[in-house]
Amino acid sequence: MSSKTFKPDPKLDLVLERVVDVPRELVWRAWTECEHLKKWFTPAPWQTVDCEIDLRPGGIFRTVMRSPEGQDFPNLGCYLEVIKNEKLAWTNALGPGFRPMASPETTHCGTFMFTAMIMLEAQGKSTKYTAVAMHQNEAGRKQHADMGFQDGWGAALNQLVAHAKTM
Query: Is residue 69 situated within a structural domain?
Result: yes
Residue 4 resides in a domain: no
Q: Is residue 119 part of a domain?
A: yes
Say if 6 falls within a structural domain. no
pTM over cut 0.85: yes
Whether 104 is covered by a domain: the verdict is yes
Backbone angles phi, psi at 53, to 5 degrees: -130, 125
* pLDDT tens for the 167 residues of the chain, in order: 445 577 889 999 999 999 999 999 999 999 999 999 999 999 999 999 999 999 999 999 999 999 999 999 898 999 999 999 999 999 998 989 999 887 654 434 556 789 999 999 999 999 999 999 999 889 889 988 998 889 999 999 999 999 999 99
Closest CA to 106 of 126, 76, 127, 128: 76
Is residue 153 situated within a structural domain? Answer: yes
Q: How many domains does one find in the chain?
A: 1
Domain carrying residue 54 = 13-164
CATH number of the domain to which 68 belongs: 3.30.530.20
Residue 27, domain member (yes or no): yes
Residue 103 lies in a domain: yes
Give the neighbor-by-neighbor strand order of the sheet with 114-123.
13-20, 126-135, 114-123, 87-91, 72-83, 60-66, 47-53
**What is the number of other CB atoms lying within 10 angstroms of the CB of residue 156?**
19
Instruction: Return d(Cα 28, Cα 6) in angstroms, integer.
Output: 20
